[in-house]
Structure 1
Amino acid sequence: MNYQELGTRILDLVGGEKNVTGLTHCATRLRFNLQDESLAKTNELKETPGVLGVVQSGGQYQVIIGNDVNHVYKPIAQACRLEEKGSAPAPEEKKGLGSRLIDTITGIFTPVLPAITAAGMLKAVLALCSAFGWLNTSSETYQIINFMADVAFYFLPILLANSAAKKFNCNPYIAMLLGGILLHPNFVSMVAAAKEAQTTISFLGLPVYSATYSSSVIPIILIVLAQSYIEPFADKISPKAIKFFTKPLITVLVTGLLGLLVLGPIGYILASWIADGINLLNTYVSWLVPLVLGGLFPLLVMTGTHYGIIPIGINNRMTTGFDTIVHPANLCSNMAQGASSFAVAMKTKKLKVRELGYSAGITAVCGITEPALYGINMRYKTPLIAACVGGACGGLYVGLMAVRNYAGGSPGLMTLPGYIGERGFYDLMHACIGAAIAFVVSFAVTFVLFKDENEGLKAAAGMKTKKETEKEEPKEKEAGSTKASGSILNETSVEIAAPVNGKLVPLAEVNDPTFAQEILGKGFAMIPEDGHFVSPIKGEIVMVFNTEHAIGLRSENGAEILIHVGLDTVNLGGKHYHALVKAGDKVEVGTPILNVELDEVKKAGYDVITPVLVTNINEFPDVLASVPGQVKAGDVAGRAFR
């Protein structure tokens, strides 16, 4: 389908234009604010051609498209007409504080990223031209391109004012005016003169903080947030006959003075504290944060929360002139994800996977990882783990070398010139080494561990099987049975029984997005009444997790089932869990496989809800669960279809 058709289809599946209260897009995903997320048909969206995945995180409903997201965004934006009718905030009671914070940061920074990326790329090109002597820094050509690149950074408060106003639902043009107040040449001159004369600026006897707000981030966000409260108040107290004049007058005068006297200084000081904290980390443990971020970036991207830390990198460059944390770590992570995708492409025997692996790998090493993340790495799990390991190794190196990024942009091969700066080629050289380390480690780990078969099951449980078993040829089955015997009703489906007495509930009710969003597989969940677990299928045990909280099975026709008893129960280290089987054991429906001391697990503070997943959804893409309610162990609870 074309972009118009895809956009129309997506809009319909998220509940229609009346359900959309906000919409932005980043490099690869549409970011919806929905009035009611329950109206969205997530499963149908995931199956829609052109949609790579769906993530519900940070108060947003995110539809991953890939590099064509801009083309899909346009028809949806036109249909929603948010610019015309205004943007109403989604009901706040549906979001926690953390979700609202991430949603706000994402909504403010996502729209301005293209401008910042363009400026960063211009800076990178200039650095390259200067380093190789192609342009003299004193030439007019260099100066013109340089000030073109500086515009996005210098006037960043005005850019952020516009997007913040749209996020806070106030007038964006008044917000940009407030940003202009901070950058007006007269105010800048007054600040410079006051600093030189070591005096202070005052307004009616009140001191005005002598700060330079060009390239700042936090002050304007605080000021526009204040505007969102002052503007409605001005509207309320203004007489109707002259409201057109008095409302903007009161808003600008009160908010502008509040910004210069209070909020601007607070934001400036907060930004300085953040920069000082970064310098402290760089002085004593420069390796720590890049190591952690390099390893966790894929998981942050998976949940869409990576935009919450982008402002830190921007603030670093604006206050100190360079970033040693966010961009270098992200570079290593992106290279690692690309390497994992390449390794899968080289090792797989599936033509479509190979083609996707190569194309997604190229995109990832150039700075956009969603195609690799959702198309390859999350799909097979082992490459995702390898990417985390490789990213952490590369992050450790760039952290130890205190590598500096001077220009920003999407972290990848295209923006490597952004590491050329005041230390010459030092930062570029070590950035390349760190990226190479991440690439090699991730590629090697993926190439060694990846197998086309059983990847979903192993990664879902988090460990290798205790005993690798060869995949058996499906045996001939008797037809006609309607009981939960684990037998194949036909060659394309398999029945899955309830593994324990209790209440059957949808996966969406599991309080863990990894299960609830079907990232690891499709199926259902059980709220167990007792701790006696039995096999849900006829087949064999292929994996018993070393802490015995999870068991993997394979049915006779190849459906891979994971039973994961409780959430985060791996932390118990096997306490209260007693496996009755081992890898390689043959089982029938109802064969006892695990005893769990449920009361003790609950006393330890863990949720005992038990997801039952079909993990090889590439072979069994459709899993239908029975009607929620009380079931007994052995009753039919679901069916998987090829």
Structure 2
Amino acid sequence: MDYKELAEKIFIRIGGQENISHLAHCATRLRITLANNVKIDKEDIKNLKGVLGVVESGGQLQIILGQHVSHIYSEIDKMLSPNDVKTERKTSNKTTKKSIVSTVLDTITGIFTPVLSAITGAAMVKVLLILLTLSELVKKDSDIYITLTFISDTAFFFLPIMLAYSAAQKFKMNPYVAMTLGGVLMHPALTQLKATKGSLAFLGIDIPLISYGSTVIPIILVIWLASYVERLADRISPSSLVFFLKPFLTVLIMAPLALTLIAPLGVYFGSGLGFAINYINSNFTWLLPVIFGIFSPIFIMTGMHYAVTIPLVITSIATYGFDMAGAGFLMANIAQGAAALAVARLAVDRDFKSMANAAGFTGLLGITEPALYGVNLKFRKPFYAVMISGGIAGLYVGFFGVKRLALAPTGLTTLPIFVDPENSINFVHAIIGLCISFVMSYSLTTLFMRKTDIKV
């Protein structure tokens, strides 16, 4: 694939530099916020060779490129002026107004997507540590164990500071001032006072001694409010003093407000979400795996998969050390890959057979967009087979309470995230579940489809 050529074609069709307010990418999608999306021909973009699909969700144009996305992103980024797209510009009056739901989904996705790589990297270190411990290659009292433990915990513990940066970019605030506010919540003095059962007050107002490590909601609320305070400080500061007066007022006002009111409220809200998750996991272990086993492809199609799942999963893992939704995602991903492989076996056209095989194997590894858009959704029947198989396999893993112990994409290469040192059968049930998903999806697709159905 000629990445530069495809990037140029996409660049032209989305209106060039003047029409790009913000450019980013995740594992498989180019995510573009446009200044004016009225005249964009999505079908024209979708028909480009190398483009798997185009979705408009949460105010973003999402161009699905599969594993090639980082290369295309780099090529488009080279076409942009250095200072033009790093922060979102004011959009044209012709831009379609976003609904409240779209705005919320776009905000959640924009905040959490940039930190996923750090969380995933740390999570895989934790998985490695579990495997080394179970195989008795590393003892729990060894220096290696201690070192790998704090390495694997770092991304989760300092999550508020990372989220402060990405939230600041979304709320159009100075990211370094935002990180300072995140650092205030993480200051060791708070942890020490909490450990010694001390007390703290500011101007007579008690500061709740709460550990904010690994929390997500408090810092998002703090930065959202701080963005308004910063804009107010900018307006009231004389131009000759704005350089230091704006950050001074922002920190002086927001830090005490965060410690005394906003962040504690966020913790209580997060505790409520955690309680709801725990109630579902304790009383309806099958529910989340079935929901995500069935509807994961639809969440991906609508671009809602990050917005719907990441806050839920991070809250669950940070609070309880595991999440139940991951098993459902694994079942859905395996079903997606299996269906594409079944279509590949039936296909006559050699180029399409090769593409479907590649998409199928990629799906088994956890990247499902090539299989979803390039194969299964195209013929519909494999798509239905995927949802049926993902749901039934999700019911199996849900019935046995299969847990994911780290946040990482779910596929064959990341199966160790289901290794539970306290419950060895957890991994066995995950393997049985994915076998059910694969066999069912492959068989149903073969049953539903005929060679004459595959017209490319």
Cα shift at 1:259 = 1.3
Q: 1:512 maps to which residue?
A: none
Q: Which has the higher contact order (CA 8 A, sep 6+)?
A: 2
Q: 2:423 maps to which residue?
A: 424
Cα shift at 1:30 = 0.3
Specify whether residues 60 and 207 from structure 1 end up closer, same or farther in structure 2 by C-alpha distance, changes over 3 A only. Answer: same
Q: 1:151 maps to which residue?
A: 154
Cα shift at 1:363 = 1.0
Partners of 2:12 and 2:451 lie apart in 1 by 35
Query: What do the CA deviations read for 1:430-464 (whole angstroms, capped 9, x no partner)?
Result: 22222222112111111111123347xxxxxxxxx
Does structure 1 residue 47 correspond to structure 2 residue 47? yes
Q: 1:87 maps to which residue?
A: 88
Does structure 1 residue 236 correspond to structure 2 residue 235? yes
Partners of 2:424 and 2:57 lie apart in 1 by 39
Specify whether residues 253 and 84 from structure 1 end up closer, same or farther in structure 2 by C-alpha distance, changes over 3 A only. Answer: farther
The 5 Å alignment of 1:124-273 reads: 124-194=127-197, 200-273=199-272
Judging by fraction of residues, say which structure has more helix: 2
Query: What do the CA deviations read for 1:161-180 (whole angstroms, capped 9, x no partner)?
Result: 11111111111111111111
Q: 2:6 maps to which residue?
A: 6
RMSD (Å) for aligned C-alpha atoms: 1.7
The 5 Å alignment of 1:443-592 reads: 443-454=442-453
Q: What percentage of aligned pairs have identical amino acids?
A: 40
Query: What do the CA deviations read for 1:247-270 (whole angstroms, capped 9, x no partner)?
Result: 000111111122111111111111
Partners of 1:255 and 1:79 lie apart in 2 by 38
Specify whether residues 119 and 264 from structure 1 end up closer, same or farther in structure 2 by C-alpha distance, changes over 3 A only. Answer: same
Judging by fraction of residues, say which structure has more strand: 1
Query: What do the CA deviations read for 1:31-66 (whole angstroms, capped 9, x no partner)?
Result: 111122122232221122221111112221110111
Cα shift at 1:323 = 0.7
C-alpha contact 1:348 1:451 (8 A) present in aligned 2: no
Q: 2:364 maps to which residue?
A: 365
Q: 1:514 maps to which residue?
A: none
Aligned AA (1:207):
D
Give the SS at the match of 1:453: helix
Q: 2:32 maps to which residue?
A: 32
The 5 Å alignment of 1:601-612 reads: none
Specify whether residues 200 and 434 from structure 1 end up closer, same or farther in structure 2 by C-alpha distance, changes over 3 A only. Answer: farther
Partners of 2:453 and 2:343 lie apart in 1 by 14
Give the SS at the match of 2:329: helix
C-alpha contact 1:271 1:319 (8 A) present in aligned 2: no
Query: What do the CA deviations read for 1:500-550 (whole angstroms, capped 9, x no partner)?
Result: xxxxxxxxxxxxxxxxxxxxxxxxxxxxxxxxxxxxxxxxxxxxxxxxxxx
Aligned AA (2:430):
A
Q: Given the two structures, how large is their TM-score scaled by the length of structure 2?
A: 0.95
Partners of 1:300 and 1:83 lie apart in 2 by 34
Give the SS at the match of 2:141: coil
Specify whether residues 83 and 439 from structure 1 end up closer, same or farther in structure 2 by C-alpha distance, changes over 3 A only. Answer: farther
Partners of 1:445 and 1:23 lie apart in 2 by 39
Cα shift at 1:145 = 2.4
C-alpha contact 2:327 2:394 (8 A) present in aligned 1: yes
Q: 1:629 maps to which residue?
A: none
Partners of 1:454 and 1:416 lie apart in 2 by 34
Partners of 1:380 and 1:312 lie apart in 2 by 32
Task: Give the gaps of 5 or more residues in structure 2.
Answer: none
Moved over 6 A (4+): none
Aligned AA (2:149):
N
Task: Give the gaps of 5 or more residues in structure 1.
Answer: 456-615, 619-642
Q: Given the two structures, how large is their TM-score scaled by the length of structure 1?
A: 0.68
Partners of 1:339 and 1:95 lie apart in 2 by 37
Give the SS at the match of 2:452: coil
Partners of 2:229 and 2:425 lie apart in 1 by 49
Aligned AA (1:140):
D
C-alpha contact 1:328 1:398 (8 A) present in aligned 2: yes
Specify whether residues 371 and 89 from structure 1 end up closer, same or farther in structure 2 by C-alpha distance, changes over 3 A only. Answer: farther
Give the SS at the match of 1:403: coil
Specify whether residues 81 and 209 from structure 1 end up closer, same or farther in structure 2 by C-alpha distance, changes over 3 A only. Answer: farther
Partners of 1:350 and 1:64 lie apart in 2 by 23
Cα shift at 1:287 = 0.9
Partners of 2:84 and 2:150 lie apart in 1 by 35
Specify whether residues 83 and 440 from structure 1 end up closer, same or farther in structure 2 by C-alpha distance, changes over 3 A only. Answer: farther
Aligned AA (1:180):
G
Q: 2:293 maps to which residue?
A: 294
Partners of 1:218 and 1:180 lie apart in 2 by 15
Partners of 1:88 and 1:248 lie apart in 2 by 21
Q: 2:347 maps to which residue?
A: 348
User: How many residues get paired?
Assistant: 452
C-alpha contact 1:27 1:66 (8 A) present in aligned 2: yes
Partners of 1:451 and 1:176 lie apart in 2 by 57
Partners of 2:371 and 2:28 lie apart in 1 by 11
Partners of 1:394 and 1:129 lie apart in 2 by 29
C-alpha contact 2:193 2:199 (8 A) present in aligned 1: no
The 5 Å alignment of 1:318-337 reads: 318-325=318-325, 327-337=326-336
Cα shift at 1:149 = 1.8
